[in-house]
């Protein structure tokens, strides 16, 4: 009789252990799924960051080009102003000396 009871207990314990194993396997599958999603998100974020870095690089280059062109235009403006003042001075000189 004792053997029969202990056999039933062993079967119940085995069933309980199998249920726990199945639950643990389901948890592992779920965790793997979450990990894979997080890895995919990380790859997407890195792609977005690289794209933004490229955009900033392009904008920075364009900004430097515009700054250079602005400096050139300022120098041209000053040169034209000085040249215009010189021409006016020469013309005034000739008008006065006539």
Confidence of residue 23 (pLDDT cuts 50, 70, 90): very high
Give φ, ψ of 17 to 5 degrees: -65, -40
pTM over 0.85: no
The predicted pLDDT at position 97 comes to: 84
Residue 92 CA, chain-centre distance (Å), reads: 63
Q: What is the DSSP string of the chain?
A: -HHHHHHHHHHHHHHHHHHHHHHHHHHHHHHHHHHHHHHHHHHHHHHHHHHHHHHHHHHHHHHHHHHHHHHHHHHHHHHHHHHHHHHHHHHHHHHHH-
């Amino acid at each position: 009789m004792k053997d029969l009871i202990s056999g039933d207990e062993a079967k119940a314990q085995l069933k309980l252990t199998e249920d726990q194993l199945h639950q643990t396997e389901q948890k592992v599958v779920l965790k793997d799924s979450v990990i894979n999603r997080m890895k995919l998100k990380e790859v997407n974020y890195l792609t977005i960051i690289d794209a933004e870095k490229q955009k900033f690089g392009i904008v920075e280059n364009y900004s430097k080009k515009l700054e250079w062109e602005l400096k050139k235009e300022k120098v041209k403006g000053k040169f034209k102003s000085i040249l215009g003042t010189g021409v006016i001075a020469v013309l005034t000189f000739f008008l006065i000396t006539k």
